[in-house]
Amino acid sequence: MTKVLLTREINQTYREKIKDLGYQVQLMEEGGPLEDIDLALGGLALRKLDFSQLKKLQAVFLTSMGVDYLPLDYFSKKGIILSNNQGVYAETIGEFIVFNLLQIQKANRFFIQKQEAHLWEKPKTGLGALKGKTVLFFGTGSLAQAGARRLEPFGVQLVGYRKSPKPQAPFQEIVTDQNLDQALKRADFLVLTLPKTKETYHLINRDLLAKTKPGVKIINVARGDIIQEEALVEALESGHVAGACLDVFEKEPLDPASPLWDMDQVYITPHHSYSSEGDREIEYKTIMENLKRFKKNQPLIHVVDTDKGY
């Protein structure tokens, strides 16, 4: 019988469903022999695993989209198949992007604070709008496309940044490294949806922020270390960056001493942009499909190129 190693991220309901498919299940956190494991299933908890002990490992199925926490070089060398949850959170995160743009523009924190204080008070300046603004997406994959589609009715200019200049709906314009600087000068918002790679590490740094339009606002639903956090704090304190909605951080949980917590123009969520009423079903959809395919020796879906990392 094929033996599957699960992390606690796979809940009890789905553990039973996996058993019903004819798999033998072992929970990683409870210990046990690893030499005869055929498949490993889970998310971030798998980063604690010494994969070299899994001598028979054939494939790893993830609940996450990100794969940067795994030993991709080792997987490539050993021919271990990796499948992530590519695209399954796109619709939910697309909504979250729009929500964040609106809460910045509509001074959400101001009104919540006044409500808590039982004060009938209006802001000293008018509320912001989205119509006519330029939104620059870093990355044009499924997350960015879902967010951009939802922004189309607001009358914004949708710009996507990626390696290739090939057109990509629903973006009205695609920019690359060759013309990114010009796009930064006119973008009212930067929305980060890139995967974590060597190339994207600290992509949003002091040099790049200095090239942005004064008053730019930033949304990050990707990976925390795409942003050089110290540089962002400095830009927020100076006012060059007028606001930020951050769902991810360089170090998670975010340090209680971080100045980001106390900035009124910053909205913080705990790496939760993927969540929805049906997030459990969404989370396991790809895994369950791949378990059925693996049993029938059929091609797996959402297989990651471990040499590239995405």
Catalytic sites, residue numbers: 223, 252, 271
Closest CA to 219 of 183, 194, 256: 194
Q: Residue 301: count other Cβ atoms within 10 Å of its Cβ.
A: 12
| Amino acid identity, position 190 | L
**26 vs 5, 75, 84, 284, CA distance in Å?**
5, 21, 20, 17
- Please give the structure tokens belonging to residue 307: 């040499």
Termini Cα distance of the chain: 31
Q: How far is residue 176's CA from residue 298's CA, in Å, rounded to a whole number?
A: 38
Closest CA to 274 of 23, 66, 96: 96
If we measure between CA atoms, which residue out of 16, 22, 88 comes closest to residue 279?
A: 88
- Omega before 123 cis (within 30°)? no
